[in-house]
């Protein structure tokens, strides 16, 4: 299990995000400089123990109304090859030293563990406590669709409505098995909702759009409104799957 250290981070995650968020196409704060607070989220463990994985909800109160953003983050002890454009910044950790902090949707370790969460294999962890599962976080993938499969490749597209991931999964089964004994890979379309609740998914409970088709899968978790009210919604939605 990942250890959450009680130490300093300089600059802080919120300071880095305050500069980075306005550069995103899905940022809705206009010309305002963000005034951020952390309002929710959860962590996942890297099985190799090398990459920190966090799904963070941060609320910006600088504008006319509060806006809550969902930012998946990965923390590394060295740069991630080929991911310069996804780098949010570097920070000095009081225990671990320099950390490279990335927009985690570009990090293959985070994406692989997100698929494992959807499959019910990865256990979500509390955001600020070591070795503490968070049962309030729900990863769901339709049983009739089978398992998502092992991560193989990734395409990321940012837009005003959020971030779309096209995740290609690998063949399952041994390399020398007959073709009939292998499960073909597939292409999964995932939407990472960047504003919470995402407008296209909003209802009175902030969870599903009335009358909308139920998605193939989703990750649902909670966060707090500025007045302290606890709410829940979909951080990630799997909208479709096809043979890769």
Residues 72 and 101 sit within 8 Å (Cβ to Cβ):
no
Give the pLDDT confidence score for residue 171 in this predicted structure: 64
- Per-residue three-class SS string for 49-113: CCCEEEEEEEEECCCCCCEEEEEEEEEECCCCCCCHHHEEEEEEECCCEEEEEEEHHHCHHHHHH
Give the pLDDT confidence score for residue 97 in this predicted structure: 74
Q: Residue 234's beta-bridge partner residues?
A: 220
Give the pLDDT confidence score for residue 219 in this predicted structure: 97
Q: Is 211 left (phi over 0), alpha (psi -120 to 50) or beta?
A: left
Give the pLDDT confidence score for residue 9 in this predicted structure: 82
The span from the CA of 158 to the CA of 60, in Å, is 20
From first to last of the 244 residues of the chain, give the pLDDT tens digit: 666 666 778 899 999 999 999 999 999 988 889 999 999 999 999 999 999 999 999 999 998 999 999 999 999 999 999 999 999 999 998 777 799 999 999 999 999 999 999 999 999 999 988 789 999 999 999 877 778 888 889 999 999 999 999 999 886 554 444 445 555 678 999 999 999 986 444 443 444 443 456 789 999 999 999 999 999 999 999 988 776 6
Q: Is 174 left (phi over 0), alpha (psi -120 to 50) or beta?
A: beta
Phi, psi for 68 (deg, rounded to 5): -105, 130
Distances (CA, A) of 155 to 205, 206, 220, 240: 31, 28, 23, 15
Token output for 67? 């806006």
Residues 44 and 110 sit within 8 Å (Cβ to Cβ):
yes
Within 13 Å, how many C-alpha atoms sit on residue 168's CB side? Answer: 8
Q: What is the pLDDT of residues 186-212, one digit of tens each?
A: 899 999 999 998 644 444 344 444 345
Give the pLDDT confidence score for residue 202 in this predicted structure: 43
The span from the CA of 139 to the CA of 218, in Å, is 6
Residues 99 and 77 sit within 8 Å (Cβ to Cβ):
yes
The span from the CA of 158 to the CA of 163, in Å, is 4
What's this model's pTM, rounded to 2 decimal places? 0.87
Token output for 142? 């339709």
The span from the CA of 90 to the CA of 98, in Å, is 7
């Amino acid at each position: 299990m990942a250890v959450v250290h009680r130490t300093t981070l300089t600059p802080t995650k919120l300071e880095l995000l305050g500069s980075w968020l306005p550069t995103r196409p899905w940022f809705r704060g206009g010309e305002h400089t963000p005034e951020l607070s952390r309002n929710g989220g959860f962590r996942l463990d890297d099985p190799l123990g090398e990459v920190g994985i966090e799904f963070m909800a941060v609320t910006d109160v600088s504008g006319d109304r509060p806006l809550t953003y969902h930012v998946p983050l990965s923390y590394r002890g060295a740069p991630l090859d080929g991911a310069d454009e996804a780098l949010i910044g570097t920070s000095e950790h009081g225990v671990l030293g320099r950390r490279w902090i990335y927009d985690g949707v570009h990090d293959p370790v985070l994406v692989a563990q997100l698929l494992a969460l959807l499959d019910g294999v990865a256990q979500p962890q509390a955001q600020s406590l070591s070795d503490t599962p968070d049962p309030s976080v729900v990863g769901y993938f339709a049983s009739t669709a089978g398992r998502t499969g092992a991560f193989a490749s990734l395409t990321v597209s940012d837009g005003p409505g959020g971030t779309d991931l096209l995740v290609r999964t690998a063949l399952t089964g041994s390399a020398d098995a007959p073709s009939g004994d292998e499960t073909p890979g597939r292409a999964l379309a995932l939407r990472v909702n960047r504003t919470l609740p995402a407008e296209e998914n909003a209802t009175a409970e902030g969870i599903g759009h009335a009358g909308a088709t139920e998605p193939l899968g989703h990750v649902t978790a909670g966060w707090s409104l500025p007045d302290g009210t606890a709410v829940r919604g979909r951080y990630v939605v799997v909208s479709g799957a096809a043979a890769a």
